[in-house]
Amino acid sequence: MQAFRLRSDTMAVQNGVEGRSVAVMMAAGAKVRTPESIDFRLPPALSTTIQVEWEGRIVRMFLVDLIERGEELEAGSASA
């Protein structure tokens, strides 16, 4: 599991009522955690999304947004 802090506001999508997706805005400074490690060796496709935990919710965001707008946190400060 990896933790990141967002450097700028970033859009994500949360599953809403009746299976509908709802766009949510995560503010700059928000902390997110990924369930699996991210391999930064190859650039992701622009359409690749990743599941993250944010404020106790599970949301999906574009991996490229996380890479470009997030900074990885040290293991000791991983509480999102």
| pLDDT tens track for 57-70 | 999 999 999 999 99
Burial (0-12, 13-18, 19+ Cβ within 10 Å), 67: middle
Checking if the pLDDT of 53 tops 90, the result is: yes
pLDDT digits (tens, 9 = 90+) for 2-21: 999 999 999 999 987 788 89
Strands (E), the chain: 2-6, 10-15, 21-26, 31-34, 49-54, 57-62, 70-72
